[in-house]
Amino acid sequence: MPEPRSTTGVVALGPLNPVADRLGRPVHDLRISVMDRCNFRCPYCMPQSTFDEKYRFLRAQGRLARVAARLGVRKVRLTGGEPLLRNGLPDLVAELSGIDGIEDLALTTNGVLLAQHAAELKGNGLHRVTVSLDSLDEAVFRKMSGGFGGLPQVLEGIEAALAAGLRPVKVNTVVQRGLNDHTVLNLLEHFRGTEVTVRLIEYMDVG
């Protein structure tokens, strides 16, 4: 029999089976990179030597979140680049939060623009945020962000996220020997007793 078609001429999908990995475990999480551009040039992520002004970034890509939800995905994380650079991100959050089956919607950000958007993102359905923050030392922060500042804005963004109810707030700290390892204890002390969870990530140079 021919495939059923909608009035728009697009093939209508029938029921979909949940997706599992090779060990038979169901796949519930989906990461969507909504923006490959970033306002930092962290050497371990987007080094300036590669991602300079001549680098050709990707054009906006289509979204498959609705299909993924039908395949069993329950958690969606928005990433980049820096996702807060994307125009209309709150509208995208509202769209994703309205998809049947999506129970958890999170965002990973460097936090510089978070204070400006936290309340609107929460109002549009975002549940929680993860902020990348490698040091509270201004000089170390600038070095690890590729020569960019913004530490006060990042801390302001974390506070704004908490105030907006984006919980839990998690901080990801990439630890590099001889670069920021001596500032880790200070960072941990800063967030001790708060609602912020700090996660230390070992830097692994894979060439």
pTM: 0.78
* CA 141/CA 110 separation, integer angstroms: 12
Q: What is the mean pLDDT of residues 190-206?
A: 90
Tokens 């002390």 sit on residue: 189
Reported as a pLDDT band with limits 50, 70 and 90, residue 40 is low
Which residue would you say has higher pLDDT here, 4 or 126? Answer: 126
Poorest-pLDDT segment among 5-9, 40-44, 45-49: 5-9
Answer yes or no: is pLDDT of 42 > 80.
no
In the predicted model, what is the mean pLDDT of the chain? 83
The pLDDT of residue 16: 66
By the 8 A CB rule, do 187 and 131 touch?
no
Which residue would you say has higher pLDDT here, 204 or 6? Answer: 204
Reported as a pLDDT band with limits 50, 70 and 90, residue 4 is very low
Reported as a pLDDT band with limits 50, 70 and 90, residue 71 is confident
Reported as a pLDDT band with limits 50, 70 and 90, residue 65 is confident
Answer yes or no: is pLDDT of 37 > 90.
no
* CA 182/CA 4 separation, integer angstroms: 62
Answer yes or no: is pLDDT of 157 > 80.
yes
Q: Half-sphere exposure of 73 toward its Cβ, with a 13 Å CA cutoff?
A: 19
Q: What is the mean pLDDT of residues 173-194?
A: 96
Answer yes or no: is pLDDT of 122 > 90.
yes
Which residue would you say has higher pLDDT here, 74 or 199? Answer: 199
**Most trustworthy range by pLDDT among 5-19, 83-97, 103-117, 136-150:** 103-117
